[in-house]
Chains A and B, each alone.
Chain A
Amino acid sequence: EAGVAQSPRYKIIEKRQSVAFWCNPISGHATLYWYQQILGQGPKLLIQFQNNGVVDDSQLPKDRFSAERLKGVDSTLKIQPAKLEDSAVYLCASSLGWGIGNTEAFFGQGTRLTVV
């Protein structure tokens, strides 16, 4: 079974530039999560999609971050403009969805962003 695919693996940008990350979840998974993991911390939920609808984006800094999941499959996360404190690993995860037994999240390798 193919896992969660993310690209790029690494990205270095200057502050105030923009950047986009892409995620392809496991086929058939309705729920998709984007997390930000700063070095030494646990993953922080940025946004959760159920199919192509947003369930929770309460922790997404909406003045600079945006995300979409067109057609309920692939997703992109964008930062514009980037700040130094955005340096982190951005993780994408997917799960089947609601219900007992369906909520196990599978993670991609992540995109390591460095803002200089």
Chain B
Amino acid sequence: AQSVSQHNHHVILSEAASLELGCNYSYGGTVNLFWYVQYPGQHLQLLLKYFSGDPLVKGIKGFEAEFIKSKFSFNLRKPSVQWSDTAEYFCAVNAYNNNDMRFGAGTRLTVKP
């Protein structure tokens, strides 16, 4: 089964700072890639997804992610964060051959106003 690594456990930024959260996975086959966000007290929600095509995908709220196949990476970016982006972010990898969906440990983002 695939495994997912998120490099940062807790990131603290000031408003308007740029954000990049790392995600790497180990799996040799075809994958679908996702970033989910969990706001305090809420359930997991999809931020963006990659299935095929352009490796740079755009999601909601100004987030984007780039799939680099050679590096097995799918890093999340946002040029300018807002206080409302404070949440926990999870990278997830779906193995195409068996629909197995695995998550990373998550990165807690705190944005200071």
Contacts and interface: CB of A to CB of B under 8 A. Distances in A.
B94 to A, nearest CB: 5
Interface stretch (A18-26, A41-49, A62-70): A41-49
Contacts of A93: 44, 101
The range of chain B's interface size is 20 to 34
B99 A103 contact: yes
A101 B101 contact: no
Nearest to A96: B99
Given A42-B105, A97-B99, A103-B32, A58 B1 contact: yes
A45 B106 contact: no
Interface string A74-116: 0000000000000000010101011011011111111000000
The range of chain A's interface size is 20 to 34
B105 A100 contact: no
A42 B103 contact: yes
B35 to A, nearest CB: 12
Counting chain A CB atoms within 10 Å of each CB, which of B36, B44, B46, B105 scores highest?
A: B44
Interface in A7-49: 31, 33, 35, 41-45, 48
